[in-house]
Structure 1
Amino acid sequence: MALPLAPTLPRLLPRTAAARRLPPLVRIALCAGLALGTLTAAPPSRAQARQQAQSQRDYDIPAGPLGSVLNQFAQGAGVELSAASALTQGKHSPGLHGRYSVQDGFLQIVQGQGLQVLRGPSGAYSLRAAPPSSLNRADVSTLAPVTVKAQRENPYGPVSGLVARRSATATKTDTPILEAPQTISVITRGQVEMQGAQTVNQALGYTSGVLPAFGGTDSRYDVVMARGGLFVRQYLDGIVLPFSAYSVAVPQFDPYMLERIEVLQGPSSGLFGQTSPGGILNMVSRRPQADPRHELWLQGGNLDAGKLALDSTGPLDADEKLLYRITGLVKSSDGVADHSNEKRTLIAPSFTWRPSADTSLTLLSHYQRDRVIPQYQGLPASGTLRYNPNGTLPRTRFAGEPSYERMDREQYAVGYAFEHRLDDIWSVRQNLRYTSVDIDARGTPGYALAADGRSLSRVATQGLGKGSILGIDTQAQAPFATGALNHTLIMGLDYVKQRDDYRFASAPAPSIDLYDPVYNVAIPDLIPRLSTLQTMRQTGLYMQDQARAGGWVFTAGGRFDRSEAETTDRMNQTGTPRRDEAFTGRLGVNYVFDTGIAPYASYSTSFEPVGGTDYAGKPFEPMKGKQVEVGVKYQPEGSETLLTLSAFQLTQENMLTPDNTPGRASFNTQAGEVKSRGINIEARAELRDGTDIIGAYAYTRSEITKANPSAAGLSLEGLPLPRVPRHMASLWINHEFGAAFLNGLSVGAGVRYIGANYADSPATIRLPGNTLWDAGVHYDLGRAGTQLSGYKLSLTASNLTDRNYVNYCLNELQCFYGQGRTVLLGLRKQW
Structure 2
Amino acid sequence: MDVATYGQTGHHRYLIHALLTPSLLSCAFVTLEPQLACAQAIAQGTPLSTVNLEKSEKFSLPAQPLPEAINAFLSQTGWQISYPSSLAQGKMSSPVSGVMPPSQALRTLLSSTGLRARIISTNAAALMADPTNTAAYTPDGAIALGPVSVRGASESAWGPVQGFVAKRSATATKTDTSLVETPQTINVITAEEMERLKPKRLADALRYTPGVVSGVQPSTTYFDRIRIRGFYSINNIYQDGLQLTPSGTLAVAQVDPYFLERVELLKGPASVLYGQNGSGGLINMVTKRPTGETFQSGRINIGAYNLYEGNVDVGGTLRDRHFAYRIEAIARKAGLKGDYGTPERFALAPSLKWTPTQKTSLTVMVNLQIDPQGNSSGYLPSVGTILPNVNGRFRRYIYTCDRSYCDYNRKQASFGYDFHQKIIENLEFRQNTRLMYVDTNTHTLSPGSLLADQKTISRTAMYQTATTEGIEVDSNLAYRYALGPIHNSIVAGFDYRIFSSDNMTSQGTSAALNLDLNHPTYGNLTIPTLITRSDNTLIQEQYGVYAQDQIAFRKWRLLAGLRQDWARTKTDNYLTNSDSPQKDHAFTGRVGLRRVVS
User: How far did 1:515 drift?
Assistant: 2.2
- Equivalent in 246, 251, 263 of residue 243 of structure 1: 246
The one-letter amino acid paired with 2:264 is E
Of 533, 545, 548, the residue aligned with 1:544 is 548
1:819-830 to structure 2, matched below 5 A, reads none
Cα displacement (A) at 1:92: 6.2
Which of 555, 562, 565 matches 2:559?
A: 555
Q: Deviations over 1:453-483 (max 9, x none)?
A: 2222111112211112210001111112234
Query: Which residue in the other structure is 1:212 paired with?
Result: 214
What is the 5 A alignment of 1:596-615?
A: none
Q: Counterpart in 1 of 2:348?
A: 347
Q: Does 1:320 align with 2:321?
A: yes
Deviation at 1:446, TM superposition (A): 1.8
Match of 1:407 in 2: 408
Residue in 2 aligned with 1:234? 237
Counterparts of residues 195-594 of structure 1 (less than 5 Å): 195-212=197-214, 214-231=216-233, 233-245=236-248, 247-317=249-319, 319-338=320-339, 340-509=341-510, 510-520=513-523, 521-593=525-597
Counterpart in 1 of 2:125?
A: 126
Are the equivalent residues in 1 in contact too, given 2:494–2:545 (CA < 8 A)? yes
Cα distance in 2 for residues equivalent to 1:427 and 1:543:
15
Deviations along 1:46-84, one digit per CA (max 9) or x if unpaired, are xxxxxxxxxx9xx99998859999989989xxxx76489
Contact 2:259 2:288 in 1 (8 A): yes
Note closer, same or farther for the CA distance 1:574–1:189 as it changes in structure 2 (3 Å cut): same
Question: Cα–Cα, structure 1 residues 495 and 65, in superposed 2: closer, same or farther, change >3 Å?
Answer: farther
Given residue 324 of structure 1, which amino acid in structure 2 is its aligned partner? Y
Residue of structure 2 equivalent to 1:154: 156
Whether the aligned pair in 2 keeps the contact of 1:241 and 1:469 (CA below 8 Å) is no
Unaligned runs of 5+ in 2: 1-25, 33-54, 59-70, 108-115, 131-144
In structure 2, how many angstroms separate the alpha carbons of the residues matched to 1:385 and 1:87?
73
How far does residue 126 in structure 1 lie from its aligned partner after superposition?
2.9
Equivalent AA in structure 2 for residue 430 of structure 1: Q
Write the deviation string for residues 405-440 of structure 1: whole angstroms up to 9, x where unpaired. 111111110111111111223211111101111111
SS of the equivalent of 1:445 reads strand
Q: Is the 8 A contact 2:338 2:397 kept in 1?
A: yes
Q: Is the 8 A contact 1:244 1:500 kept in 2?
A: no
Check conservation: 1:169, 1:238, Cα contact below 8 A.
yes
- Aligned-residue sequence identity (percent) comes to 32
For 1:60 and 1:268, how far apart are their aligned partners in 2? 49
Q: Distance in 1 between matches of 2:585 and 2:410?
A: 34
Q: Tell me if the contact between 1:502 and 1:533 (Cα under 8 Å) persists in the aligned partners.
A: yes
Q: Is the 8 A contact 2:81 2:127 kept in 1?
A: no
Tell me how far 1:365 sits from its aligned partner. 0.8
Q: Once the two structures are superposed, what CA deviation does each residue of 1:694-728 show, in whole Å capped at 9, x if it has no partner?
A: xxxxxxxxxxxxxxxxxxxxxxxxxxxxxxxxxxx
Provide closer, same or farther for how the CA distance between residues 69 and 294 of structure 1 changes in structure 2, counting only shifts above 3 A.
farther
Q: Quote the offset at 1:213 in angstroms.
A: 6.5
Partner amino acid for 1:406?
D
Structure 2 CA distance for aligned equivalents of residues 592 and 64 of structure 1: 44
CA change 1:281–1:88 in 2 (3 A) is farther
**CA, structure 1 residues 93+162, in 2 after alignment: closer, same or farther (shift >3 Å)?**
farther
More helix by share: 2
TM-score, normalised via structure 2 length: 0.77
For the residues of structure 1 that align with 2:532 and 2:336, how far apart are their CA atoms?
Answer: 30
Instruction: Describe the shift of the 1:299–1:88 C-alpha distance in structure 2 as closer, same or farther (beyond 3 A).
Output: farther
Label 1:425 to 1:128 Cα distance change in 2 as closer, same or farther (>3 A): closer
Provide the secondary structure at the position in 1 that maps to 2:296: strand
Q: Structure 1: which amino acid aligns with 2:228?
A: A
Structure 2 counterparts to residues 774-793 of structure 1, below 5 A: none
Name the larger-Rg structure. Answer: 2
Q: CA RMSD in A?
A: 3.4
One-letter identity of the residue aligned with 2:557: V
Give distance in 1, aligned partners of 2:591 and 2:473.
25
Q: Residue 708 of structure 1 aligns with which residue? A: none
CA 151–550 in structure 1, closer or farther in 2 if over 3 Å, else same: farther
Separation in 1 of the partners of 2:479 and 2:574? 49
5+ unaligned residues in a row in structure 1: which ranges?
Answer: 1-55, 95-105, 132-143, 596-831
Q: Aligned equivalents of 1:384 and 1:301: distance in 2?
A: 30
Q: Which one-letter code corresponds to 1:276 in the other structure? A: G
Matches of 1:194 and 1:167, distance apart in 2: 21
Relative to structure 1, is the Cα distance of residues 286 and 373 closer, same or farther in structure 2, using a 3 angstrom cutoff?
closer
Retained in 2: the 8 A contact 1:61–1:72? no
User: 2:213, 2:197 → 1: CA distance?
Assistant: 17
Helix, strand or coil for the counterpart of 2:208?
Answer: coil
Cα deviation code 1:135-170 (max 9, x no counterpart): xxxxxxxxx997524653121111111111111111
The answer on whether the counterparts of 1:337 and 1:375 sit within 8 Å (CA) in structure 2 is: no
For 1:656-696, what per-residue CA distance to the aligned partner results, in whole angstroms no more than 9, with x for missing partners? xxxxxxxxxxxxxxxxxxxxxxxxxxxxxxxxxxxxxxxxx
* Aligned-partner residue type, residue 520 of structure 2: P
For 1:544, what is the secondary structure of its paired residue?
Answer: strand
Q: Distance in 1 between matches of 2:394 and 2:77?
A: 54
For 2:73 and 2:367, the matched residues in 1 are separated by: 30
Evaluate the alpha carbon distance shift between residue 502 and residue 116 of structure 1 in structure 2; reply closer, same or farther with a 3 A threshold.
same
In 2, the alpha carbon distance for the partners of 1:263 and 1:537 equals: 25
In 2 relative to 1, CA 155–307 (structure 1 residues): closer, same or farther, beyond 3 Å? same
Structure 2 letter corresponding to 1:436: Y
Residue in 1 that maps onto 2:140: none
Which amino acid letter does the alignment assign opposite residue 496 of structure 1? Answer: R
**Secondary structure of residue in 2 paired with 1:444:** strand
Contact preservation (8 Å) 2:378, 2:447: no
2: distance between equivalents of 1:60 and 1:475? Answer: 47
Matched residues in 2 for 1:252 and 1:336: separation? 21
